Amino acid sequence: MLRAMLASALLLSTPVAASSDLIEVDVELALMVDVSRSMGPWELELQRKGYAEAIRSDEVTRAIETSFTGSIALTYVEWAGNGLQRVVVPWTLIDGKEAAEAFSEKLVATYNPGMRRTSISGAILFATEDIESNLFDGLRRVIDVSGDGPNNDGRPVVRARYLALEKGIVINGLPLMTEDSTSRWGIDDLDVYYETCVIGGPGAFVVPVTDWADFPLAVRRKIVLELVGPPDGLWPASGRTGETPDGYDCMIGEKIRRERELIYGEP
């Protein structure tokens, strides 16, 4: 019995001991990037290059080096339908120009094809679990979601948002509102959708992209703001508290999918 009690005590104490070994950083930032088939191969490549350029930029590395701990934890994950997530670069400590350059080089070393469907909820849930289980302890924890359409697969996005907010994680958005984004599965007011249904937490914000030429600058600006924190009230965010106001349909993506399945027989 004594041995059993000692074994139980050891098991209970193990997670606490392990948590003390976590690496403290200013921000744990999960870059969750949409690669659904509504985006062409050149757009997928442009996204990788845009993020790589932003991460190695002087603005971003300066924000990291002058932060409280002088470091952040960063991962880059591509996502599409529910359960379809591809870790391109796993959690990595970025503490200066050299580490940022190495991370950026991994992003553009190879390119992968797109995948089917758009599950923003799946991306949020994946990132939430990934943040909870990594080897870092961030003063702030942020999920950065980019995408060119509303959620149309998996759990409703507002439920996934709620679960992330419960963990104290902030969700920011980069809605891609280019000319071709509304051709099949997109919506005209994707920025409003992201503000209302996707983002959440203290200081949450969106940075819409209306032209691919502006993408690298928008990504760089957004990452800097996520590292230093945006001025309060700069972007009104109705989803910061996790509450969805009346009058906006956060299930619009699911309805568009069902309609296309009925009319065109698209799976």
Residue 249's CATH number: 3.40.50.410
Is residue 12 assigned to a domain? no
Is residue 18 assigned to a domain? no
Q: What is the pLDDT of residue 12?
A: 43
Distance from C-alpha of 74 to C-alpha of 4, rounded to nearest angstrom: 41
Is residue 13 assigned to a domain? no
User: Stretch 124-143: mean pLDDT, rounded?
Assistant: 97
Return the percentage of the chain with pLDDT > 90, whole number: 57
* Whether pLDDT at 232 is above 60: no
Is residue 5 assigned to a domain? no
Q: Name which of 168-172, 188-192, 236-240, 257-261 the model is least confident about.
A: 236-240
Is residue 44 assigned to a domain? yes
Is residue 174 assigned to a domain? yes
Model confidence at 183, pLDDT cuts 50, 70, 90, reads low
Report the domain count for the chain.
1
Boundaries of domain holding 180:
23-264
* Whether pLDDT at 58 is above 70: yes
Categorise residue 67: left if φ over 0, alpha if ψ from -120 to 50, beta otherwise. beta
**pLDDT tens-digit map of 4-48:** 444 444 444 434 335 568 999 999 999 999 998 777 788 888 899
Is residue 1 assigned to a domain? no
Distance from C-alpha of 47 to C-alpha of 110, rounded to nearest angstrom: 13
What does residue 60 show for φ and ψ, rounded to 5 degrees? -70, -45
Give me 203's structure tokens. Answer: 């200081």
| pTM, rounded to two decimals | 0.84
Is residue 97 assigned to a domain? yes
